[in-house]
Amino acid sequence: MTTTPTPLGRRQELQGRFTPVPDEIDAVDLPVEGALPPELTGRYLRNGPNPLPGEEAAHLFTGHGMLHGVRLREGRAEWYRNRWVRTGALEGRPFISESGVDLTAVPANTHVIEHGGRLFALVENGLPYEVDGDLGTIGPCDFGGRLTTAMTAHPKTDPVTGDLHFFGYSPFPPFVTYHRLSADGHDLVSREVAVAEPTMMHDFAITAEHVVWLDLPLTFQWERLESGVPFGWDDAYGARLGVMRQDDPTCAVTWFDVDPCYVFHVGGACTDEQGRVVVDGARYAPADVALMWDTPVPTDPAAAAAATGRARMHRWVLDPRDGSVAETSLEDRGVEFPTIDESLVGRPSRWRYAVADRGVGGEKAGAIVKVDADGTLTPHELGPDVAAGEAVFVPSEAPDRAEDDGWLITITTRRDGTASQLLVLDATDVAGAPVAAVTLPRGVPSGFHGSWIPDGM
């Protein structure tokens, strides 16, 4: 049986909360409801696609990158501003990096991170673009010509070493290349990771000892190139997770076959006391891929009837000693954009935070959710008219703080696109009233990923 796909992100969907903004603005002294914690001194930055006025975008994923930023200090919301990332694609001119990578069509629209004292706007099909603290574009970066592949939008910073782990994928061999950049941004180690075909590897994971690869059946398909995202489900490709030790750049990858699925975003990973690799992520079953992606997926009638088109929190336990895999669904409510306390990346952690856009019954119900390690979910419900963006955890400065002692920061947008807030929640009491809500001067289109950049970084 083949399900009927519902296209994701076509031009008709760039309305309501996805409506692009037409210009760049600045606003100061933003209204605040509640009280912003004085510890929140820094900038919240978020990236997302935003076509130019009058410009068509073939897919929700393909608009030019636009950064939205809010500056918090001493309990005040000092400013909001938004800026396009000024890539070669936006400025309509060829842009070849020092290492020879063609950046002309790269939108840099997915994430924004800090590393080595520099800010980078990221997209998975090109090099990073460096930006400054006021969101102005400095230009593309290939780390002195050492980076010769694209860079994932989901790099992982090891909280102990400060090294940045990332990869690039390509429709041409080598299909996947692993990179490890030193904390100061000067030394880069690279190696190929062998996979059978070019796949859409959007995310990956690290533990203190391992790198974990997601080799899943959304593969590059030339006939889909004009769709904007040339990847489609390949039922014959199979699905597997790979475990690679960090301490030997030449070591082999151990692969584990898993049930067919797709994962855009990993929610955390660690190596447990038995040496098993534990990975949490937002998992789409094949029938859910059919509903959320512009491609048919063969599936049985029962699976198609149960499909929601949404991901659910899922856990894989991979045992390198005997090659066994255990899979567990953690929660039935559809979620996406899982995050954790970044000081625990690759280490055991109890809490995940995520975004829900529907209730268990499928009704519109925007929420930020807190997921315990056992799968218990606690929501901060926003109601049917408001959608939340990714929630970034900011730790408190309390000594010996609990893992969830801190705040969650997100941009919420009304579904009609008319208004947005920067919402601050107490991570220890997610279901409670917001700590603070900053009224933004415009409706900010729902976007992708962001970071909290504290002062001094």
User: Hey, what CATH topology would domain 11-454 get?
Assistant: Methylamine Dehydrogenase; Chain H (2.130.10)
Structure tokens at 173: 């061999």
pLDDT of 457 reads: 60
**pLDDT exceeds 90 at position 5:** no
> Which of 426, 435, 438 lies closest to 35 in space, CA to CA?
435
Structure tokens at 420: 């947005």
**pLDDT exceeds 80 at position 9:** no
pLDDT of 3 reads: 31
Q: What is the DSSP string of 62-79?
A: GSPEEEEEEEEETTEEEE
Between these two residues, 386 and 15, which has the higher pLDDT value? 386
**pLDDT exceeds 50 at position 231:** yes
Show the beta-strand stretches assigned E in 176-306.
176-181, 188-192, 205-206, 210-215, 218-220, 231-233, 240-245, 254-257, 262-271, 277-284
Cis ω before 445 (30° cut-off from 0):
no
Express each pLDDT in 290-344 by its tens digit: 988 877 887 788 888 888 999 999 999 999 999 999 999 998 999 999 999 999 9
Between these two residues, 309 and 249, which has the higher pLDDT value? 309
Mean pLDDT of the chain: 92
Which stretch of 49-53, 93-97, 259-263, 419-423 has the lowest confidence by average pLDDT?
93-97
Q: Residue 205 and residue 166: Cα distance in Å, rounded?
A: 9
**pLDDT exceeds 70 at position 1:** no
Tell me the three state secondary structure of residue 130. strand
pLDDT of 95 reads: 66
C-alpha distance from residue 338 to each of 41, 280, 390 (Å): 24, 9, 8
Percent residues over pLDDT 70 in the chain: 95
CB distance 415 to 16 below 8 Å:
yes
Q: Residue 360 and residue 172: Cα distance in Å, rounded?
A: 41
pLDDT of 97 reads: 65
Express each pLDDT in 122-154 by its tens digit: 999 999 999 999 999 999 999 998 999 999 999
**Confidence band for 101, pLDDT divided at 50, 70 and 90:** low
Question: Going by C-beta distance under 8 Å and a sequence separation of 6 or more, which residues neighbour residue 266?
Answer: 154, 203, 204, 205, 212, 214, 279, 280, 281, 338
Express each pLDDT in 172-186 by its tens digit: 999 999 999 999 999
Q: Is 443 exposed, middle or buried (0-12, 13-18, 19+ CB in 10 A)?
A: middle
The arithmetic mean of pLDDT across residues 268-282, rounded, is: 96
